[in-house]
Amino acid sequence: MTNKKTTKKVPSCVDYQSTLLKRLKDRDYAVEYLNAAIEESFKGDGESQKLFLNALKNVAEAQGTMSDLAKRAHVRRESLYRILSENGNPELSSLASLLHAMGFCLSIR
């Protein structure tokens, strides 16, 4: 009787960003993700305030090309990149257009 060991192949690493983008294609997951990010951003410190724009950028990337999103949001592609940049500070009208183009809305509860 021989004793053969079976070994499972374990991936050496997981690409977090690509996994996140796949999950963000699901609308319900994206809504929860954005809600958690905006809730965190209300803490008021600089890092947490950048969190929502980063989350919004991730959701935008998950939905397709920035060019298509820019067209749907009625903004130039360059403006969209600037809005979603680390130093972005979008006006409410730009934020509302972007969210609407992605099928979301902004609400207060």
* DSSP one-letter string for 34-66: HHHHHHHHTT-SHHHHHHHHHHHHHHHHHTS-H
C-beta separation of 98 from 83 below 8 A: yes
Please report the pLDDT score of residue 3 as a whole number: 57
Distance from C-alpha of 82 to C-alpha of 97, rounded to nearest angstrom? 14
Indicate the pTM of the whole model.
0.80
Sequence spans of domains, the chain: 18-101
Please report the pLDDT score of residue 50 as a whole number: 86
pLDDT of the chain, 109 residues: tens digit per residue: 555 666 666 666 778 999 999 999 999 999 999 999 999 988 877 777 789 999 999 999 999 999 999 999 999 999 999 999 988 888 999 999 999 999 999 888 7
